Amino acid sequence: MTKIALITGATSGIGEATAYEFAKQGIHLILCGRRVERLNTIKAALEKLTVVHTLNFDIRKKNKTFKAIESLPEAFKNIDILINNAGNAHGLDPIQDGDIDDWDTMIDINVKGLLYVSKAIIPQMTERHSGHIINIGSSAGKEVYPKGNVYCASKHAVLAITEGMRLDLNPYGIKVTAINPGMVETEFSKVRFKGDPVADSVYKGFKALEAKDIAEIIYFAVSRPAHVNIADLLVFPTAQANSTTVQKEL
């Protein structure tokens, strides 16, 4: 039976690559993001492969998030796969110099936004006793690195929420998965460093993961048989051993 997937943060990076991967497999798509032009461009490209609906909202806005998901046409209301991917790091500063607006942004998007979207979608999954939620965590959710403080906290929270979801949704047969990437070359560093050219050096001197690498793993996770749930995956580029150990040739 054809599945329906909702992907947050589908306008770039891992979310966009996942949309392409799922479209190739004929999964029907609900693509979410704030940049409406990008949503339209991606929709136009993927409609050649599958059925696509777009939702343009900021996951920090609780009411707008619920309204957007309520607005889904009947054919898209029963979401089988939720990819909670939207998120970013904002800043890289020692805790004593951290920008409070950056802290708010990361907690509001990476943690609260993920919860709002989940809250809007889970009830129809529990009702149907079916569904798969994939939360995109991070290696930063497994260990804390210098100056990572609040971003790492937000991703540790994603991991705790994932485990909580897996426990609470267990009676309903809903799969819950955390996929935790190390360094992936996307717009992530541009957002983190707010356009500062330092962003360009983050992935220099080694082969970082590509968004597609994670997208393929996400598809692998959602395409396992009904009795198999990949609970938690940590994925590094080969050159990376942990958050602070990266073999670079400069």
Cα–Cα nearest to 147, from 219, 101, 90: 90
d(CA 200, CA 179): 25
- Residue of 8, 11, 85, 139 interacting with ligand 8X3 (CB under 6 A): 139
Could you say which of 15, 91, 131, 237 contacts ligand NDP (CB under 6 A)?
Answer: 15
**Contact flag: residue 237 with ligand NDP (CB under 6 A):** no
Q: By beta-carbon distance, which residue lies closest to ligand NDP?
A: 13
3-state SS string over 191-209? HHCCCCHHHHHCCCCCCCE
Stretch that binds ligand 8X3, among 56-64, 118-126, 134-142, 216-224 (CB under 6 A): 134-142
Select from 14, 31, 46, 134 the one that contacts ligand NDP (CB under 6 A).
14
For the CB of residue 202, give the shortest distance to ligand 8X3 in the complex, in Å: 7
Q: Indicate whether 12 belongs to the interface with ligand 8X3 (CB under 6 A).
A: no
Binding site for ligand NDP (CB under 6 A): 8-15, 33-35, 58-60, 85-88, 109, 113, 136, 138, 181, 183-184, 186-188, 191, 211
Residues of this chain that interact with ligand 8X3 (CB under 6 A) are 89, 138-140, 148, 182-183, 243
